[in-house]
Structure 1
């Protein structure tokens, strides 16, 4: 599964890495890292690669206080790539970032996710009930310089009992490295 997605991710990363292309396409940040399940001690996933792109169509970077940043979220698009029969997720939504100091920041996001995991209960993982789920995350990060940052993040996806079937959800924690354009 990973090999099938690797070429696409590499092409997107190379295309998005150019500052000229980033400015032209409103690309604000690219993050890459890995996450693993934190919900079931008996059925651990291996570390799954993740890539997330952020765009800033509402010009959050021009907001000068927390109220202005609250109404100007960034939009994120990303994937958590399933390896060895683990579910792949493709997600999108809104993200809010708030500085705690010159270097430390917190971030939260909310949106939706499509996954290819099991819908019914299984011995190796949660039953997810339907293909489209809510997706939320929270993280705390540190800016290494004006471009690079590192973020520890916990994310959760479930359907909030809005569709038939089990609602085991997926909860993952991970570490990401970001590059702001």
Structure 2
């Protein structure tokens, strides 16, 4: 099966004129995230980690604890590109350890495998927070304008094996100027994931 996938990948690249630079091991794996043909559980992955909170703003100087659950894809196309386009639903929370802004969030995650080990990821959704929304500024809090906010993340990760991975993540919440204040909040951190 591995040789068949390698042959198909070579033919595709040759026919489109793309130069092959990946090694033979990477050619045996699809480039886009493709879950197994049969879903074994409702949950596909759980993650946990630590973020540096709002670095460089009036809320900096503390740490967030992050936890997230990613659900299995509702559709699993055989084509790797189509499989990438189908997102996973996620639910999670980022809780500040010093009483600053925390959030509960939900949204969609897209994962793309650069190699069998290295992947990049993006997500978008809504974040419900306990931060300041008023017009008057609080000295040690950001003015976020309203709740919920638009939440987005970007990650680059590495898979140790089929179950364990680690990723560097940037998380941002903002109202895209839909409310009277839009200072936004950005956290930077590291998370560990366990896939089922």
Q: With the length of structure 2 as denominator, give the TM-score of the two structures.
A: 0.74
**Residues of 2 paired with 1:83 and 1:144: CA distance?**
29
CA gap of 1:111–1:40, structure 2 versus 1, over 3 A, is same
Is residue 29 of structure 2 the alignment partner of residue 29 of structure 1?
Answer: no
Per the TM alignment, residue 156 of structure 1 is displaced from its structure 2 partner at its CA by: 0.7
Other structure's SS at 1:81 match = strand
Q: Which residue number corresponds to residue 172 of structure 1?
A: 187
Q: Note the C-alpha offset of 1:116.
A: 0.3
Unaligned runs of 5+ in 1: 1-21
* Counterpart in the other structure of 2:68: 52
Matched, 1:96 2:98: no
For 1:155 and 1:44, locate their aligned partners in 2 and report how far apart those are by CA, in whole Å.
14
TM-score, normalisation: structure 1: 0.79
Instruction: Give the direction of change, closer, same or farther, for the CA distance of 1:53–1:63 in structure 2 (3 Å limit).
Output: farther
In structure 2, the partner of 1:9 is: none
| 1:102-181 equivalent positions in 2, closer than 5 A | 102-120=116-134, 121-163=137-179, 165-181=180-196
How many Å apart are 1:64 and its aligned residue?
3.5
Work out the CA distance in 2 between the residues paired with 1:45 and 1:114.
Answer: 22
Q: CA RMSD in A?
A: 1.8
Q: Which runs of 4+ in 1 moved over 4 A?
A: none
Which of the two has higher C-alpha Rg? 2
Partner residue of 2:90? 76
Deviations 1:59-92 (A, max 9, x none): 45x543223311x100110000122221110001
- Structure 1 145/59 Cα, relative in aligned 2: closer, same or farther at 3 Å? farther
- Count of matched residue pairs: 156
Match of 1:65 in 2: 80
